[in-house]
Structure 1
């Protein structure tokens, strides 16, 4: 049996999920453009409305980054790019995070200066059918209306992110949550102006900017960890990936293996695994048994796109047991991760 680079095509379930995710992101872009237009038409000089418009414009970044990355990951490996194009997911994640941090910082400074100067945004009136209508009512109506799309789209994306192991899609769902929560803050700010509390407008804008900065920092941290080949985590970027423990258990289950361990790097949708095994005796096992063990590990999960299995005399020093007291209380998968990652490595 010849060696192969794991799963180069998505299974049917994940392929359907990816097609649905692409459709959702296209709908997200369309809905965001409509929202931006409505908010811009009624924004006036309100800081909170300005902040809401900026956050809506930033909401375009994750779906655009996702759609661009999806086009690249479909390309097959080449001699120049032997690992394929899966890292484009991580690059898209990084670009979105930097944009969020930049705009969040600008908005925080701008709103803070307005609050310090005591700027009081005027909200005028409109004449409708001979009646005078406070423009703030239009602002409130628009902000209530634009809450609905991000709530629905965010929930749908959260269902697909685990299936695809897609951190950009998960970050986009989190951005949708930030969108509707910032819309609520904007409603409070505009209502504050209506009852004479002028400072609530700037305060709401500052709250929105802090939400943007939090999302930007979280996504920047997670994207840099993946690009720097930190520990493989689940789609939410928090918990260790259970495949670390599963691969190690599969290696140790082979009757000719005395010791085994592995390390896994996140390539985007897929994973790259480096596994090390020490045979029971000093002689090398038959090549067929090594190949069979490698294929068995690849078959554990569709995300294992590539797996390198090395037969060694002793495990590399970096993989030697360094279990902490905390690790002993973890589950098998977490303990397997801690087995070869010290706390200092993740700090």
Structure 2
């Protein structure tokens, strides 16, 4: 399954501290924990001894301790200590099952299997690059647990035509629902839409009047996308860097997901709570619609659902998923 070879977000990095945390990715139950050096790890949440959940255990002396019999495991997954037989040296059969783990953009990312070819990067857009870190403020909202498939959530994030109805008075207006034509092109790792324009009464927490706002949307992985907002007249841009919002989705099961929004903003004055509250409001308006959609899994057949010209990015996203061999959270 190609999805197992991709990097997926599973938790906010700061949420994994001194004690183990449970998570689920692609139906795989995980335990997330940090060793004595502070390095993050993601393992199968199952002790190789009697199958107890590691996430019910604890971290002791920088090692993960099983809650059932106190077996301890070091960072590489090897068992180092069995209290009931202290003189025994555990072997290869006593190892925990481990997965690749990385930290990026304030989150922990996990890959369940190594790809045969080059690995898809986690993210490489300018606003989120390392050199932009001190110039754009990074804030994350979520997690949002959603009874919807990951592709449905990403497609909704890419959709501007719902602004005037789902986000009326915020991101759109029923009186001005038109979406002018825009361009969609394939990229090395997804698809990109430029010249996306929509009239918005309140495009950000600072907006005091309506404006025609221009966005660029980019799908950077099957379950990740970024919108980049063109600076409005009179606003301050930083050396050509546009503010961006990323939607990162963890596919928990075929029909349930956890989502986060990662913001790269030219706003160092507003408190985190205010920035996050705005995103909470927007996602809170989307969630009941997402959970109402049928089928829950995104249909990829061209004639499965009706389309309009405003849906050209959605159609391109579906083609990209199909061409990439994605099968989790979709129907053929």
> So what's the TM-score if we normalise by structure 2?
0.23
Rg larger in structure: 1
More strand by share: 2
Identify the structure with bigger relative contact order (alpha carbons < 8 Å, sequence gap 6+).
1
